[in-house]
Amino acid sequence: MAPRLQLEKAAWRWAETVRPEEVSQEHIETAYRIWLEPCIRGVCRRNCKGNPNCLVGIGEHIWLGEIDENSFHNIDDPNCERRKKNSFVGLTNLGATCYVNTFLQVWFLNLELRQALYLCPSTCSDYMLGDGIEEEKDYEPQTICEHLQYLFALLQNSNRRYIDPSGFVKALGLDTGQQQDAQEFSKLFMSLLEDTLSKQKNPDVRNIVQQQFCGEYAYVTVCNQCGRESKLLSKFYELELNIQGHKQLTDCISEFLKEEKLEGDNRYFCENCQSKQNATRKIRLLSLPCTLNLQLMRFVFDRQTGHKKKLNTYIGFSEILDMEPYVEHKGGSYVYELSAVLIHRGVSAYSGHYIAHVKDPQSGEWYKFNDEDIEKMEGKKLQLGIEEDLAEPSKSQTRKPKCGKGTHCSRNAYMLVYRLQTQEKPNTTVQVPAFLQELVDRDNSKFEEWCIEMAEMRKQSVDKGKAKHEEVKELYQRLPAGAEPYEFVSLEWLQKWLDESTPTKPIDNHACLCSHDKLHPDKISIMKRISEYAADIFYSRYGGGPRLTVKALCKECVVERCRILRLKNQLNEDYKTVNNLLKAAVKGNDGFWVGKSSLRSWRQLALEQLDEQDGDAEQSNGKMNGSTLNKDESKEERKEEEELNFNEDILCPHGELCISENERRLVSKEAWSKLQQYFPKAPEFPSYKECCSQCKILEREGEENEALHKMIANEQKTSLPNLFQDKNRPCLSNWPEDTDVLYIVSQFFVEEWRKFVRKPTRCSPVSSVGNSALLCPHGGLMFTFASMTKEDSKLIALIWPSEWQVIQKLFVVDHVIKITRIEMGDVNPSETQYISEPKLCPECREGLLCQQQRDLREYTQATIYVHKVVDNKKVMKDSAPELNVSSSETEEDKEEAKPDGEKDPDFNQIMHAFSVAPFDQNLSIDGKILSDDCATLGTLGVIPESVILLKADEPIADYAAMDDVMQVCMPEEGFKGTGLLGH
């Protein structure tokens, strides 16, 4: 037995021997006191559930004994937000902007770029007053250069551990919740920055992007016939290296520069030979920049799935890279030193996290930049091991190769940054301009003010906590009531009083009241009994109420509970007694009518009713937890209760005794008396009670109506035998010889009439022929003679002239519709003409056909077939699915929720069935190419059961050519609409 049931049984055990009318004040206190079992302080390890005396484990442990001051507040030490000495400043991740933060840190540690940006003129002078910045105005950068200036100045001299780049991100119009391609961002931003700086007068500023990042190479094509060279010069800001199939960075560079043969269909047109000739083509590096960005093409397009994927293969690279073997002009300084490695954590091209490992050009030490967190690596060595361990393992993943001294390998690096080695030491005196430093000082002042404010808030919380500590230590010792006067207080309120995380509100005991505004017996388990002394202090400090003393114990609820429990205990005995009484015959007129259904389930009904009365007592007659029930909910509950009430199964709609004796039986007076103890409000019908007079009248009228309906149905069935059985019906396509006139009625009329004739007692008689449904608003016929012989034949029924005469007598006819056959005679003996009355309305007929076509193209689910065309022949694979599609779903509707049963059209099934990627699919129907991705199936003329032809483009084997096709067929739109494309 559950503990709650054990307590309830113990609490009300005396109710078996005490009658409700005998309950005294002593009994009431006894009933409540059984709940108040003693609880020994210190023995309980947790709060005794349901025991109001137990005051252990309600939250007091955090206030007793010695207390750490940090427990009095949830405010972090503001000094944790302060920048540590000789460390860098982090950048806040605004949601999915880690790719921006990595490049900002890499560009910031390019001292030449930072120095050039500091030399850019700024509109900050507009905010200057005298020698300072106007305090009440906030500086807002106006250009992308000013945003970078301000960010770099903060990264250099801010006192904060990390700063917020939201102004820079907002200026670019980037979506902070969408992860973008980091490589694409780098290209677009460098292009934007170069375009912006090109307007500067200072050449050191104007040319900084070209000087730092720009190199030059040439596409060189050599004719094998005449040896003529053709060069196409091109600038580059990064080298995009294919890593697929390679293990070392040098192999990737060699493939980038390898010679390509132009033969066969790919021959080169030589202007010197004036004909197509075999030739060779390769890339020659003409000049290299100071900062060499090497993009490792980890994100490639998968033609099988139609999506990008990440290549998680290891690539080895050295800290020193000699580029002299790869450039055309030898003898220069082409030795580069690794300065940054950009990492993409994750195995998917559409998710993951970007971080950067960057070398400090001044100290030569390596740092890991991970948004707000910046970690200095031990010694002066680059460490990538932990980043490689974060990638998800794969069964097919190769082991990490061994790396020698000065070399590294990574399967997550997507960009390597190398700096040209020089004999000169890097410029360590990149000074922040005065106007920017004043802005930084202003931000630092705000930060210091915030630190002071947070420290003061921490101090106030500690002082408040200490005062609360003293209050709890004082009051908690006086909480137990013992033998002195006591009161009841909500356990929930006591717990909130001891919980410093939420402010203490006034005491609210309304949720524990019964319908008599006293303490409900069942709410004792969520109350605590405290001393009157402690209660006085609580109410004086916090207010609230009502106060619940010993006088708040509710006698009415105890009496009602006593009655209910006695009935529950007595129910089994009474059930046997009633069953024995039902076996005895009823004498004279002393019996009572009881519903047979009620008698079969009266014990269950009684138990449910007693439980409901218990529940009603808890709800306090409409009050649950101190709130009033909704009126509609109360009505619904009362309605359900009425359906379950005893003996109401023999009530007629007028509230009287029903006329059907099959649903009721007589029981003795003694049996009814027992039943009435459990159902005092049940309807009472003595044996001499007459049945409902209104129901008797209605029953007689019903019998008369049924007889009348049977007579009408029999008469009409006899008068129209062919119409009822559908035998010997005339047909327009095979016009009968013995008549020149046929009449028309709607098929709906025929079906409704047949229903009545078959079941006249269940259906109402059909009184009229509604032919208006076959006519247009102008009174013209909506069907042609040809359509009535084919698709519209299901809507009409043909009537013989003799039948029509009978129909006109039996029913009210709104419109007469007939077809007349006319033989042309001498004019053209072989031709027959058919004339309808009324005549066809051409305009409305045309409108009907258009509507039918629209209806045909608007559907929520249909089957569409796809046939693949190979060498101009149709091929239908067994595995090719039937597409369950919707005709009216546009691209804009795809995000909307679909009702149950509707599914989005999954045209990827074509890809899986025929192994044809979406961009290789050419779809057509009836010779029309389906190329509009935004159109609906209906507008394209695709109706249910249509067959779509699929012709696949052959895949291109050449990898470089595949990239070209990829750029044409699958344009990247990740930064569309942002400031990166504004230039």
List, as one string, the DSSP characters of 355-419.
EEEEE-TTT--EEEEETTEEEEPSTT----HHHHHTSPP-TTPPPPPP--TTEEEESSEEEEEEE
Nearest to residue 280, comparing CAs of 229, 318, 325? 229
Which of 353, 510, 516, 815 is labelled catalytic? 353
Cross-strand pairs, 950: 868, 923
Q: What pLDDT is recorded for position 962?
A: 32
Q: What pLDDT is recorded for position 23?
A: 65
To the query of whether residue 867 is one of the catalytic residues in this protein, the response is no
621 pLDDT band, cuts 50/70/90, is: very low
- The pTM score is 0.55
Q: What pLDDT is recorded for position 883?
A: 54
Mean pLDDT of 385-393: 57
CATH fold, domain 204-383+402-420, is Cathepsin B; Chain A (3.90.70)
pLDDT at 431 over 70: yes
pLDDT at 9 over 70: no
Q: Could you tell me which residues come within 8 angstroms of residue 302 by beta carbon, excluding any fewer than 6 positions away?
A: 308, 309
Q: What is the pLDDT of residues 171-180, one digit of tens each?
A: 888 888 888 8
Cα gap 30→562, rounded to integer Å: 13
Identical topology for domains 204-383+402-420 and 716-856: no
Structure tokens that stand for 503 in this block: 């402010």
Structure tokens that stand for 584 in this block: 């005895």
DSSP character at residue 542: H
Q: What pLDDT is recorded for position 970?
A: 37
Determine if the peptide bond prior to 777 is cis (ω within 30°). Answer: no
| Letter string b/e over residues 829-845, b meaning 16 or more CB atoms within 10 A of that residue's CB | eeeeebebebebbeebb
Query: Picking from 70-74, 205-209, 373-377, 522-526, which range would have the lowest pLDDT averaged per residue?
Result: 70-74
Mean pLDDT of 386-415: 71
CB atoms under 10 Å from CB of 426, counted, come to 13
What is the pairing mode between strands 947-952 and 862-870?
Answer: parallel
**Three-state SS sequence of 44-79:** CCCCCCCCCCCCCCCCHHHCCCCCCHHHHCCCCCHH
Say how far residue 586 (Cα) sits from the centre of its chain: 67
Enumerate the domain spans of the chain. Answer: 204-383+402-420, 584-608+645-692, 716-856, 862-869+910-954+970-976
pLDDT at 488 over 60: yes
Q: Is 509 exposed, middle or buried (0-12, 13-18, 19+ CB in 10 A)?
A: buried
Mean pLDDT of 374-383: 85
Cα gap 181→970, rounded to integer Å: 15
Structure tokens that stand for 239 in this block: 């080298």
Q: What pLDDT is recorded for position 871?
A: 59
Looking at 497-630, which runs of residues are DSSP E strands?
A: 507-508, 527-531, 544-545, 592-595, 623-624, 627-628
CB atoms under 10 Å from CB of 233, counted, come to 11
What is the pairing mode between strands 921-925 and 883-885?
Answer: unpaired
SS3 content of the chain, % helix, strand, coil (to 5): 40, 20, 40
Q: What is the pLDDT of residues 835-873, one digit of tens each?
A: 889 888 888 888 888 877 777 777 767 788 887 777 555
On average, the pLDDT of the chain sits at 78
Give CA separation, 306 vs 462, 599, 760, 921, 922, in Å: 60, 70, 65, 11, 15
Say whether domain 716-856 belongs to CATH 3.30.2230: yes
SS3 at position 597: helix
| In contact, 713 and 756? CB cutoff 8 Å | yes
Q: What pLDDT is recorded for position 873?
A: 57
One-letter amino acid at 426 equals P
Mean pLDDT of 444-456: 89
Mean pLDDT of 567-587: 84
Higher pLDDT, 617 or 728: 728
Query: Picking from 158-167, 207-216, 671-680, 901-910, which range would have the lowest pLDDT averaged per residue?
Result: 901-910
Nearest to residue 758, comparing CAs of 707, 795, 709? 709
Structure tokens that stand for 759 in this block: 């079941």
Q: What pLDDT is recorded for position 18?
A: 59
pLDDT at 8 over 80: no
Cα gap 156→10, rounded to integer Å: 75
Nearest to residue 908, comparing CAs of 895, 896, 919? 919
To the query of whether residue 353 is one of the catalytic residues in this protein, the response is yes
Q: What pLDDT is recorded for position 144?
A: 87
Instruction: Please state, for a pLDDT cut of 70, what percent of the chain lies above it.
Output: 78
SS3 at position 3: helix
Higher pLDDT, 544 or 555: 544
Residues 507, 509, 510, CA angle at the centre, nearest 5°? 125
Q: Could you tell me which residues come within 8 angstroms of residue 498 by beta carbon, excluding any fewer than 6 positions away?
A: 58, 59, 60, 62, 63, 472
Mean pLDDT of 691-704: 84
Cα gap 519→618, rounded to integer Å: 11
Higher pLDDT, 913 or 161: 161
Cα gap 620→510, rounded to integer Å: 11
Which of 54, 98, 120, 692 is labelled catalytic? 98
Cα gap 743→47, rounded to integer Å: 89
24 pLDDT band, cuts 50/70/90, is: low
Sign of the alpha-carbon torsion through 456, 462, 465, 469: negative
One-letter amino acid at 860 equals T
The helix (H) or strand (E) run that includes residue 913 is: helix 908-914
Q: What pLDDT is recorded for position 27?
A: 64
Q: What pLDDT is recorded for position 972?
A: 44
Structure tokens that stand for 376 in this block: 């200095």
Q: What is the pLDDT of residues 867-893, one digit of tens each?
A: 777 755 555 443 344 555 555 544 334
pLDDT at 357 over 90: yes
Higher pLDDT, 161 or 791: 161
What is the pairing mode between strands 299-302 and 307-310?
Answer: antiparallel
Q: What pLDDT is recorded for position 374?
A: 92
Q: What pLDDT is recorded for position 306?
A: 74
Measured in degrees and rounded to the nearest 5, phi and psi for residue 497 equal -65, -35
Looking at 685-732, which runs of residues are DSSP E strands?
A: none
DSSP character at residue 136: T
Q: What pLDDT is recorded for position 254?
A: 92
| In contact, 844 and 778? CB cutoff 8 Å | yes
279 pLDDT band, cuts 50/70/90, is: very high
